[in-house]
């Protein structure tokens, strides 16, 4: 084959004298359509970004942001204040990793593990700003923090379950939490790094900025948790999840037995009475009794006034009888 033939063959494979073939392969609109068709699968995007530098740059600039907007629109809208072109603290890849990846956990100076646990992808996670308020001191309640439910990990029969949780601040550089850390001159950790952006972190446990409500929100024992916040506002932590007590299990069994007994009583009374109108009256009476019992039990556990109003309205058929 002559040199001129090799040149023509090379130009044909690459799409002619220009770079039309490459532009098709790296076309942003084409890639967006492809990922929309597969519902923005996280692992597929990871594989795509690892192909070459050009795709990695495109993913960093565009694809990770679109994934966050598609898979987690509410939290993304809140964190970006509705401005999708804005820069995210730590970058969009770090946010995407935080949303869909449970980071590895190892022993720290305040939280000792018998063995480390590797990170893993999660199919779904629930982030809540209501939960985030439980991780803020009173003076920092003006900050907006989203925290996930703990991801449970079994370590052994003799140990409690390990909970791994993560979160993210909105506008961390202007937050009261960061200002409080700087005012207290809390030192950054030497060995610990953020598993999502690689930045240095503060230990909230060492800083004494862990509210008591944080353990209750996680379902953990007091003091059996530790979490860190990086300079970009990413939060990650671990806790020991309190096991269900035998009293709770017995109570659930008693509730099931009571419901079965009430169902049997309804059937027996219906057979005796027979008329449809009487059956409806019995059902209304039973509904009122159950509602009143639930109202009393929730009052003993300190529930809100809203439930009292709802219970009273729901029990009106009982009063009318």
pLDDT higher at 319 or 49: 49
For 50-77, b where at least 16 C-beta lie within 10 A, e where not — what string?
eeeeebeebbeeebbbbbbeebbeebbe
Give the separation between CA 152 and CA 144, rounded to whole angstroms.
25
Question: Which tokens is 317 given?
Answer: 């058929």
Q: Which residue has the tokens 């019995």?
A: 282
**pLDDT reported for residue 302:** 47
Given the DSSP bridges, would you call strands 161-169 and 220-230 parallel, antiparallel or unpaired? Answer: unpaired
**pLDDT reported for residue 243:** 75
Looking at the DSSP assignment, which residues form a beta bridge with residue 7? none
Question: How would DSSP label each residue in 10-70?
Answer: HHHHTTSSSSHHHHHHT-HHHHHHHHHHTT--HHHHHHHHTS-HHHHHHIIIIIHHHHHHH
Region of poorest pLDDT, from 15-19, 197-201, 241-245, 270-274: 15-19
**pLDDT reported for residue 101:** 95
> 173, 215 in Cβ contact below 8 A?
no
Confidence of residue 172 (pLDDT cuts 50, 70, 90): very high
Give the chain's length: 321
145 pLDDT higher than 50: yes
Give the separation between CA 85 and CA 66, rounded to whole angstroms.
11
Give the separation between CA 246 and CA 256, rounded to whole angstroms.
15
Mean pLDDT of 303-309: 42
- 3-state percent breakdown (helix, strand, coil) of the chain, nearest 5: 50, 15, 35
Given the DSSP bridges, would you call strands 127-128 and 145-148 parallel, antiparallel or unpaired? Answer: antiparallel
Confidence of residue 88 (pLDDT cuts 50, 70, 90): confident
pLDDT digits (tens, 9 = 90+) for 218-249: 888 777 889 999 999 999 999 988 776 555 44
Q: How many CA atoms lie within 13 A of 117 on its CB side?
A: 20
Interhelix angle 28-37/64-71, nearest 10 degrees:
30
Give the separation between CA 232 and CA 93, rounded to whole angstroms.
13
* Measured CA distances, 296 to 36, 290, 293, 300, 306 (Å): 50, 10, 5, 6, 14
Confidence of residue 295 (pLDDT cuts 50, 70, 90): low
Task: Find, among 26, 19, 92, the residue nearest to 62 by Cα.
Answer: 92
CA dihedral angle for residue 300, residue 303, residue 308, residue 311, rounded to 10 degrees: -80
> 193, 201 in Cβ contact below 8 A?
yes
> 131, 191 in Cβ contact below 8 A?
no
pLDDT higher at 308 or 127: 127
Looking at the DSSP assignment, which residues form a beta bridge with residue 236? 166, 228
**pLDDT reported for residue 10:** 40
CA dihedral angle for residue 130, residue 136, residue 139, residue 144, rounded to 10 degrees: -50
């Amino acid at each position: 084959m002559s040199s001129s033939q090799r040149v023509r063959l090379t130009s044909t494979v690459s799409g002619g004298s220009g770079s039309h073939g490459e532009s098709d392969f790296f076309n942003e609109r084409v890639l967006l359509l492809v990922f929309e068709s597969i519902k923005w699968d996280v692992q597929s995007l990871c594989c795509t970004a690892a192909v070459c530098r050009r795709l990695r740059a495109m993913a960093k600039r565009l694809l990770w942001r679109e994934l966050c907007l598609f898979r987690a629109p509410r939290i993304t809208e809140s964190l970006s204040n509705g401005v999708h072109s804005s820069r995210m603290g730590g970058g969009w890849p770090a946010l995407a990793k935080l949303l869909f990846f449970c980071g590895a956990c190892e022993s720290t100076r305040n939280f000792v593990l018998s063995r480390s646990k590797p990170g893993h992808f999660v199919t779904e996670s629930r982030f809540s700003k209501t939960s985030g308020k439980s991780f803020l001191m009173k003076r920092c309640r003006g900050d907006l923090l989203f925290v996930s439910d703990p991801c449970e990990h079994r370590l052994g029969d003799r140990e409690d379950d390990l909970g791994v949780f993560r979160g993210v601040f909105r506008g961390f550089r202007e937050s009261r939490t960061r200002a409080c850390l700087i005012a207290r001159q809390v030192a950054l950790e030497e060995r610990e790094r953020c598993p999502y952006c690689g930045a240095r972190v503060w230990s909230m446990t060492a800083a004494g900025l862990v509210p008591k409500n944080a353990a209750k929100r996680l379902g953990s024992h007091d003091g059996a948790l530790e979490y860190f916040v990086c300079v970009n506002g990413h939060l990650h932590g671990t806790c020991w999840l309190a096991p269900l007590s035998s009293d709770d299990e017995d109570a659930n069994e008693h509730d099931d037995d009571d419901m079965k007994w009430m169902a049997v009583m309804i059937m027996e009374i219906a057979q005796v009475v027979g008329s449809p109108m009487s059956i409806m009256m019995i059902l209304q009476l039973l509904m009122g009794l159950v509602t009143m019992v639930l109202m009393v039990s929730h009052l003993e556990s300190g529930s809100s006034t809203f439930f009292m109003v709802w219970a009273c309205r729901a029990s009106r058929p009982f009063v009318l009888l």
